[in-house]
Amino acid sequence: MLDPVWLRTFLMVAETRSFTRAADRLGLRQSTVSQHIRKLEDVSTQQLLLRDTHSVELTSDGEAMVGFAVNVLETIDRAMSYFTGSELRGRVRFGASEDFVAGPLPEILRAFRRTHPGVDLELTVALSGVLHEKLRAGELDLVLGKRGAGQDQGSPLWTEKLVWVGREGFEHDPAAPVPLIAYPPPSITRARALEALRREGKPWRSGCTSGSLNGLRAAALAGLGVAVFARSLIPAGLVELPPGHGLPSLGEVEFILTGRRAAMRGPTAALSEAIRTEASRLHHD
């Protein structure tokens, strides 16, 4: 029998590539995670993971097990929803900022869809400022993004430091204009960067303006300038710039999950709760 508890543990190890991180996220002891994987390998009669003291990798049978595990758990969740009469139905228009699309958010949304297959989930990815405008206009039901200036709705999911980011080894002459890589207005990080530069009397020039995270990352990797990101959301391949570049402090930014009051029931409330429960996965210290 493919015990669903073992399957959930296996999928978490497959996602995190770590027994330790899987144990933390599942609230289990590491020895329990190891026991679940061992039992799953025993019942499948195949080695699913290659592991040593530094890494965890899936075998070809492990890759196959991922697909089977997802299907089994989706079927179980659908059956439970059907027989308990608790299946939610409806539509949620959800907006998420660019910061989260390359992280674990897709898996969180997939789990929500697996648990609530009767909910139509519409995802909009855009700048936080744009998403808040759409929320106010009634075009979205729920938004995950940065808190904008003057917003006081709801308490933050978390707060963290904004930092200057560039490619490894990037050098900037403190006497020269700062080459800024940023989203276009109404980007919150762009506004914070310009505010900090003006406050310190620092001249700047545009190194790149792009509406996509991949565009900003490519420009920074090419050495076209510096960008601003929350410390836990620095894109792969880029690093926080050390002191010595003459760049001003950027302060902190708050990340919030906010929805239209009229829509905060049923499917929208369920999605909000699912994201709040998994909020720690969306960033790291």
- Contact of 124 with 166, CB cutoff 8 Å: no
Closest CA to 57 of 19, 110, 99, 92: 19
- Contact of 253 with 157, CB cutoff 8 Å: no
Same domain, 210 and 143: no
222-248 mean pLDDT: 91
Choosing from 84, 114, 134, the residue where a domain stops is 84
Choosing from 31, 59, 84, the residue where a domain stops is 84
Model confidence pLDDT, tens digit, residues 142-179: 999 998 655 656 678 889 899 999 999 998 888 899 99
Q: What confidence tier does 183 reach under pLDDT thresholds 50, 70, 90?
A: very high
Same domain, 96 and 218: no
Model confidence pLDDT, tens digit, residues 249-271: 999 999 999 988 766 778 898 89
Same domain, 276 and 264: yes
Same domain, 153 and 233: no
Question: Domain span at residue 163?
Answer: 158-253
Same domain, 261 and 140: yes
- Contact of 240 with 227, CB cutoff 8 Å: no
Same domain, 230 and 96: no
Mean pLDDT of the chain: 88
Q: How far is CA 253 from CA 117, 118, 148, 156, 209, in A?
A: 34, 35, 9, 10, 21
CATH classification at residue 130? 3.40.190.10
| Stated pTM of the model | 0.67
Same domain, 147 and 203: no
Residue with tokens 């019942």: 43
Least confident of 98-112, 113-127, 148-162, 184-198: 148-162
Same domain, 152 and 258: yes
Number of domains making up the chain: 3
CATH classification at residue 59? 1.10.10.10
Same domain, 271 and 136: yes
Residue 85 has pLDDT above 60, yes or no: no
pLDDT of residue 245: 79
Q: Please state, in angstroms and rounded to a whole number, the distance separating the CA atoms of residues 184 and 187.
A: 6
Closest CA to 253 of 188, 201, 197, 195: 188
Residue 118 has pLDDT above 90, yes or no: no
Q: What confidence tier does 86 reach under pLDDT thresholds 50, 70, 90?
A: low
Choosing from 84, 103, 118, the residue where a domain stops is 84
Closest CA to 239 of 163, 168, 161: 168
- Contact of 113 with 127, CB cutoff 8 Å: no
Same domain, 127 and 259: yes
In this structure, the dihedral spanned by the alpha carbons of residues 144, 145, 148 and 153, taken in order and rounded to 10 degrees, is 20
Same domain, 245 and 196: yes
Same domain, 247 and 190: yes
Q: How far is CA 232 from CA 112, 123, 136, 171, 242, in A?
A: 24, 23, 28, 22, 16
70-98 mean pLDDT: 80
13-19 mean pLDDT: 90
